[in-house]
A = this chain, B = another copy of it.
Amino acid sequence: MTGRRRVPRHEREQQIIDVAVQVFAKRGFHAASVDEIAELAGISKPMVYLYLDSKEGLFLACLRREADRLVAAFQGAAATGGAAPELRLHAALLAFFAFVAEHRDSWVVLHRQASELSEAIATAVAGARRAVLAEVAGLVLAGITESGDSQLDDEDADFVAHALVGAADSLTDWMADHPDQSPEGVTLRLMNMVWVGMGRVLEGEVWSPARP
Contacts and interface: CB of A to CB of B under 8 A. Distances in A.
Interface of A: 27-31, 82, 84, 86-87, 90-91, 108, 112-117, 155-156, 158-160, 162-171, 173-174, 178, 186, 188-201, 205-209, 212
A contact patch SS = helix
B190 A207 contact: no
Nearest to A32: B116
A87 B112 CA distance: 33
A206 B18 CA distance: 41
Contacts of A116: 27-31, 113
A170 B170 CA distance: 9
Nearest to A117: B28
Q: How many copies does the complex hold?
A: 4
A54 to B, nearest CB: 16
Given A108-B115, A167-B166, A194 B196 contact: no
A212 B188 CA distance: 11
B160 A171 contact: no
Given A82-B209, A112-B114, A166-B169, 16 more contacts: A29-B30, A30-B116, A91-B209, A158-B174, A160-B193, A162-B170, A165-B170, A166-B167, A169-B169, A188-B207, A192-B207, A193-B197, A193-B198, A195-B207, A196-B206, A197-B199
A169 B29 CA distance: 23
Nearest to A25: B115
Contacts of A31: 30, 116
Contacts of A30: 28-31, 116
Contacts of A194: 163, 193-194, 197
A22 to B, nearest CB: 14
